[in-house]
């Protein structure tokens, strides 16, 4: 009976620690994700990606026209 | 027996907690109408700013803004227009950093986002463009 109580407390403590860790991760600033987001926006603003400009597809894509 | 039931409940709770952690590490949300509008506005302004970066008239500050670095590189008649461009760009940048923080539910991340952008603007800048180093001095890339 005693052992069961101790085990239960241990599991409860572990669960508590994991939940706290989860909250902590969400509060800390996600630096790597922010860097990726910044790069995506800079690509757009400075037009650094060739594929970013749609005009390349225009000549053969007139609406309603099929060849 | 009750212990087994209890542990099963804990495991179930963990199953919810793990994806939650994954979400915290995923991409930041940058696809909102406000962010897209700011991006477009900055993209249009960039055609006017690019020559100013190249001439060294305007450079990137260490706090994620741009600033007039060398007024003499701009003809007197255009100086006012360049100052207005810089002010408009910095206004958009401030709004962009704020909106990204807000879109991700953490307005308090604004200054971290600004710092991240400050580093990325500089490291993605073309060679020949000017930026402020950690000591605040202008450096040519």
Asked if the Cβ–Cβ distance from A15 to B13 is below 8 Å, we say yes
- Domain limits of chain B? 32-140
pLDDT mean for each 10 residues of chain B (141 residues): 55 51 71 98 98 98 98 96 98 98 97 98 97 97 96
Residues β-bridged to residue B140: B130
φ/ψ bin of B20: left (φ > 0), alpha (ψ from -120 to 50), beta (otherwise): alpha
Cα→Cα distances B18→A22, A28, B11, B13, B60, Å: 8, 17, 11, 9, 40
Of the two residues B52 and A3, the one the predictor is more confident about is: B52
Read off the pTM: 0.71
Contact of B47 with chain A, judged by CB distance below 8 Å, is answered with: no
Q: Is A62 helix (H, G, I), strand (E, B) or coil?
A: coil
Tokens of A49: 């990606």
Asked if the Cβ–Cβ distance from B25 to A35 is below 8 Å, we say no
- Domain limits of chain A? 2-50
Note the pLDDT tens digit of each residue in A13-53. Answer: 876 666 666 555 557 999 999 999 999 999 999 999 865 44
Residues of B with Cβ-Cβ distance to A14 under 8 angstroms: 10
Cα-Cα-Cα-Cα dihedral of B99, B67, A41, B114, to 10°? -50
Contact of B17 with chain A, judged by CB distance below 8 Å, is answered with: yes
Residue of A nearest to B26 (CA): A33
Tokens of A62: 């007139």
Strands B138-140 and B66-68: unpaired
**B15 contacts B55 by C-beta, under 8 angstroms:** no
* ipTM > 0.85 (yes/no): no
């Amino acid at each position: 009976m005693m052992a069961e109580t101790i085990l239960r407390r241990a599991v409860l403590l572990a669960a508590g620690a994991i939940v706290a860790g989860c909250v902590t991760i969400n509060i800390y600033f996600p630096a790597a994700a922010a860097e990726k987001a910044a790069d995506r926006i800079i690509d757009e603003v400075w037009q650094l990606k060739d594929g970013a400009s749609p005009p390349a597809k225009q000549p053969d894509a007139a609406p309603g026209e099929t060849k | 027996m009750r212990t087994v039931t209890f542990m099963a409940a804990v495991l179930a709770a963990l199953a919810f907690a793990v994806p939650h952690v994954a979400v915290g590490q995923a991409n930041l949300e940058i696809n909102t109408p406000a962010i897209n509008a700011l991006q477009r506005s900055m993209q249009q302004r960039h055609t006017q700013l690019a020559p100013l970066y190249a001439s060294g008239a305007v450079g990137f500050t260490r706090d994620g803004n741009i600033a007039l670095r060398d007024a003499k590189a701009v003809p007197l008649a255009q100086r006012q227009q360049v100052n207005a461009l810089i002010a408009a760009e910095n206004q958009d940048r401030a709004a962009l950093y704020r909106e990204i923080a807000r879109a991700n539910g953490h307005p308090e991340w604004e200054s971290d986002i600004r710092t991240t952008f400050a580093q990325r603007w500089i490291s993605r800048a073309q060679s020949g463009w000017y930026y402020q180093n950690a000591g605040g001095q202008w450096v040519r890339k």
